[in-house]
Structure 1
Amino acid sequence: MSIATVNPATGETLKTYEAMGEEEIERRLQLAEATFRTYRTTAFDERARMMRAAADLLVQDQQDVARMMTTEMGKPVRQARAEAVKCAKAMRWYADHAEELLADEEPSDVDVKDSGATEVRVRYRPLGPVLAVMPWNFPLWQVIRFAAPALMAGNVGLLKHASNVPQTALYLEDLFHRAGFPEGCFQTLLVPSRAVDDILRDERVKAATLTGSEPAGRAVASTAGEMVKKTVLELGGSDPFVVMPSADLARAAEVAVTARCQNNGQSCIAAKRFIVHTDIYDAFAARFVRGMQALKVDDPLHEETQIGPLSSEQGRKDLEELVDDAVRGGATVLCGGKRPDGPGWYYPPTVLAGITREMRIHREEAFGPVATLYRATDLDEAVLIANDTPFGLSSNVWTHDEAEIDRFTRDLEAGSVYVNGMTASHPAFPFGGVKRSGYGRELSGHGIREFCNITTVWHGA
């Protein structure tokens, strides 16, 4: 089987790679296991030195890396450069903070004495080789937010990246090697999705993390459960963006456009459902539609482009089917809604109104620049609509009413609530969701401890 880079702006196949066979996979698993035995004993300052070196190299490479990502999956090149810089910052953050985040902890003296011990410590120890199954939409960031904490904790990484970004996958392995990490610390497995099950079942693989679709998450969770292995899953999202009368309407509408269309609308944490109080609905809708229509759709390698192509022909087809289903059900298209002529897998920024619970787009994630508008009569209805989804990744709330803020932060079913701002991931903040958006957390201290053996060390007299 071959794994290929296909430029989504043209449909042209740029590079083709042969998938790794069983012998190469076995060699890499052996190497990962052997490397872990020694790498786990390295000091934090040594790991930090190598992680900072990798960050420096990534910043130096950002122009070339950005063009590579753009030609593999279509994001505007300016956003691709920003992704590379963000990754470097996260790597430095973990280099700076990992030791303190994983420092031994001591229970209170009362607890220690009550246990009959002279000393008790809680120690965080690495697990071993961790398999990362990663998506194409943020081909650097999704990997680095796993790799930086995992490597700083003393684990080693095995990356099964999305098959449409093989160049980025291979670059990441080379990046860590050039930074001085021992061979086998971070390896890319160029394999098809069907190979994941056997790799995860291998006893040398101690845990797995997946960011991707619900079906992929179920498959990994099922195998990991059978093998009794730790997993972290970050799956889909259909994030609400709630706007109440006290909000700064102009700012909310401006941010709403970015929140929906970042990364060509192909982001799990992109706002997708815009729930607006009836008193300001018409004014918000007018501003929002104008902003969506003003976005420049063009070649993603052009600096001024704001919307590039979707990552695949199938992705565009899936999005079109959601829009067409909504229109057949009575939704109104306020802008967009039709694919343009010409090469590439482009789809215009689109706003749909009049959404009902019977429409697929109400309950399924729209992975592309398509927004749905909802009218809420009051706070209660806004919360009800926001939670009426199988997903619970993040949420956005626009209001200056403290009582409303308290209610939203208490009752919204999501892993994050962003008030008067757009959802974004940051290395210092835990990231993850509830319901079908997955479980576990990435980033922050919570993320680095996910793949650690939390060990109680008890000393008697």
Structure 2
Amino acid sequence: MPIATVDPATGETVEKFAPHDEVELERRIAMAHAAAAELGGTPFARRAEWMTSAADLLEADLDGAAAMLVTEMGKPIGQAEAEVRKCARTMRFYAEHAEEFLAEEPLRAPAAVGARRASTVYRPLGVVLAVMPWNYPLWQVIRFAAPALMAGNTGLLKHASNVPRAALYLDTLFERGGFPCGSFTTLLIAAAQVDAVVRDPRVRAVTLTGSEPAGRAVAAAAGASIKKTVLELGGSDPFLVMPTADVAAAAATAVRARVQNNGQSCVAAKRFIVHTEVYDEFAELFTRGMAELVVGDPRDRRTDVGPLATESGRRDVAELVDDAVAKGAEVLTGGSVPAGPGFFYPPTVLAGLTPEMRIVQEETFGPVASLYRATDRDDALRIANQTDFGLSSAVWTGDDDEADWFAERLEAGAVFVNGMTASYPELPFGGMKVSGYGRELSAAGIREFCNLTTIWRG
């Protein structure tokens, strides 16, 4: 796949980029390796100054950075601005809390063997490779980079080939903030070259957000080299609505939950599982809300849903819908590729889904919602857990006991009750089953790429 910026709203190639050759690739890995020793020995207070300065620079670049996100992946301008601000907030969050999260922790010393004191400390690993996707070109990277750098690690970024401008922007951001040269470095390389970088002995750990096949490949290479990995591999998140829920609020939130980021979010609600007592009411409100969304130019602030990021991505979504319709699914709204330039696809709601349809098991990465009728809460739970994914979930109910019942049984990394699933720097983020393993964000995220060292004093 060429490294190029293609405007999804028009399909036109804006700019092409030459990949780094082997000499440049080696230079960049060597820079990151050399910087690891310096950064790991830098006090937290100094790292915090640099991280805060980088956050200030990012906010000062708000207009340009947001416009870049719109051009590279079609994100509506308001959402692009929100992504930039969220990144800056997360950078400040780790600047403020990294030292606390990684502080030495005293342990009960085993007196029988003569110990006076015991404790654990978190030490940086060194160079961490990040293989990142295009759907949140800044946010996906920052939620790794901010904790990794604050822990004293250095970062190598292999970004998606269709967001090179974002990758190159990030290549300079942290050094502009004051971090030592080589602390964070972008690699403009092909996917086929990732395996060799993972296996390079100077790389100590790997994090990947992307597809299940990509995760398996990276995990295999890292496993062969005995290296730590964190994988976030997408989801097909359930959104459950029970009879005691505020159905109107649930339906309104469901629309936002499905089409955030033009429907291209791993943690977006994708399967809407509604108790039969409120199914008709929810289906009517939800379908109307989806049908009323404005699809158009992502630079226009009146637009709710912009184009999908790539032509192949739109083709994948259309094929899933066409397969379901051919096998008997009912289209409540949308469901067909529009004429004209760009990679647009309309907000779509499908009902009458059956197990032989691909969309029942596969992730739908676009503004397409699957609507299910559940006979009772056991049936709702069965439908929710029937996929191989387990990233996040949402439950709408007015019964706290029922909310607890679902929270104990849903196979997911998170359960949001009466709200929309989202990622926050304060909360751990990650999944189970084929949605991956490990956690990003919060204290858990910064500790993933540290060595937990036990210190025993006799």
2:105 maps to a residue whose letter is E
Residue 185 of structure 1 and its aligned partner are, at CA, apart by 0.2
Residue 118 of structure 1 and its aligned partner are, at CA, apart by 1.3
Match of 1:165 among 150, 163, 166: 163
- Equivalent in the alignment of 2:321: 323
Tell me, what secondary structure is at the counterpart of 1:280?
Answer: helix
With the length of structure 1 as denominator, give the TM-score of the two structures: 0.98
Question: 1:197-221 CA deviation, whole Å, 9 max, x = no partner?
Answer: 0001100000000000001000000
CA distance in 1 between counterparts of 2:398 and 2:74 reads: 37
Q: What pairs up with 1:275-354 in 2 under 5 angstroms?
A: 275-354=273-352
Structure 1 stretches lacking a partner, 5+ long? none
Tell me, what secondary structure is at the counterpart of 1:245?
Answer: coil
- Equivalent in the alignment of 1:383: 381
Matched, 1:104 2:101: no
Residue 113 of structure 1 and its aligned partner are, at CA, apart by 1.9
Residue 303 of structure 1 and its aligned partner are, at CA, apart by 1.2
- Equivalent in the alignment of 2:396: 398
- Equivalent in the alignment of 2:231: 233
Q: How many residues align?
A: 458
Q: Is the 8 A contact 2:107 2:117 kept in 1?
A: no
CA distance in 1 between counterparts of 2:112 and 2:297 reads: 67
Higher deviation after alignment, 175-184 or 159-168 = 175-184
Q: What pairs up with 1:143-222 in 2 under 5 angstroms?
A: 143-222=141-220
Question: 1:151-176 CA deviation, whole Å, 9 max, x = no partner?
Answer: 00000000000000000000011111
CA distance in 1 between counterparts of 2:400 and 2:90 reads: 32
- Equivalent in the alignment of 1:444: 442
Residue 400 of structure 1 and its aligned partner are, at CA, apart by 1.0
CA distance in 2 between counterparts of 1:401 and 1:366 reads: 30
- Equivalent in the alignment of 1:63: 63
Task: Compute the RMSD of aligned alpha carbons.
Answer: 0.8
Q: Which runs of 4+ in 1 moved over 2 A?
A: none
Residue 403 of structure 1 and its aligned partner are, at CA, apart by 2.2
CA distance in 2 between counterparts of 1:64 and 1:31 reads: 28
- Equivalent in the alignment of 1:6: 6
CA distance in 2 between counterparts of 1:384 and 1:421 reads: 21
1:76 maps to a residue whose letter is P
2:307 maps to a residue whose letter is P
Matched, 1:415 2:413: yes
Higher deviation after alignment, 197-206 or 399-408 = 399-408
Residue 115 of structure 1 and its aligned partner are, at CA, apart by 4.1
Tell me, what secondary structure is at the counterpart of 1:70?
Answer: helix
With the length of structure 2 as denominator, give the TM-score of the two structures: 0.99
Tell me, what secondary structure is at the counterpart of 2:356?
Answer: coil
2:359 maps to a residue whose letter is I
CA distance in 1 between counterparts of 2:404 and 2:301 reads: 41
Residue 357 of structure 1 and its aligned partner are, at CA, apart by 1.1
1:292 maps to a residue whose letter is M
Tell me, what secondary structure is at the counterpart of 1:125?
Answer: strand
- Equivalent in the alignment of 1:32: 32
CA distance in 2 between counterparts of 1:310 and 1:59 reads: 26
- Equivalent in the alignment of 1:47: 47
1:98 maps to a residue whose letter is A
CA distance in 1 between counterparts of 2:348 and 2:74 reads: 18
Tell me, what secondary structure is at the counterpart of 1:206?
Answer: strand
1:379 maps to a residue whose letter is R
Q: What pairs up with 1:424-443 in 2 under 5 angstroms?
A: 424-443=422-441
Structure 2 stretches lacking a partner, 5+ long? none
Residue 105 of structure 1 and its aligned partner are, at CA, apart by 0.6
Matched, 1:244 2:247: no
Tell me, what secondary structure is at the counterpart of 1:106?
Answer: strand
Residue 39 of structure 1 and its aligned partner are, at CA, apart by 1.1
Tell me, what secondary structure is at the counterpart of 1:361?
Answer: helix
1:39 maps to a residue whose letter is L
Question: 1:365-417 CA deviation, whole Å, 9 max, x = no partner?
Answer: 00000000000010100000000010000000000112211110000000000
- Equivalent in the alignment of 2:353: 355
2:454 maps to a residue whose letter is T
Matched, 1:457 2:455: yes
1:341 maps to a residue whose letter is A
Identity of aligned residues (%): 64
- Equivalent in the alignment of 1:86: 86
- Equivalent in the alignment of 1:119: 117
CA distance in 2 between counterparts of 1:112 and 1:73 reads: 56
1:83 maps to a residue whose letter is E
CA distance in 2 between counterparts of 1:265 and 1:217 reads: 21
Residue 2 of structure 1 and its aligned partner are, at CA, apart by 4.6
CA distance in 2 between counterparts of 1:243 and 1:35 reads: 51
CA distance in 2 between counterparts of 1:322 and 1:415 reads: 26
Distance change in 2, residues 1:244/1:54 (3 Å): same
CA distance in 1 between counterparts of 2:229 and 2:191 reads: 17
CA distance in 1 between counterparts of 2:219 and 2:390 reads: 18
Tell me, what secondary structure is at the counterpart of 1:338?
Answer: coil
CA distance in 2 between counterparts of 1:56 and 1:244 reads: 44
Distance change in 2, residues 1:115/1:310 (3 Å): farther
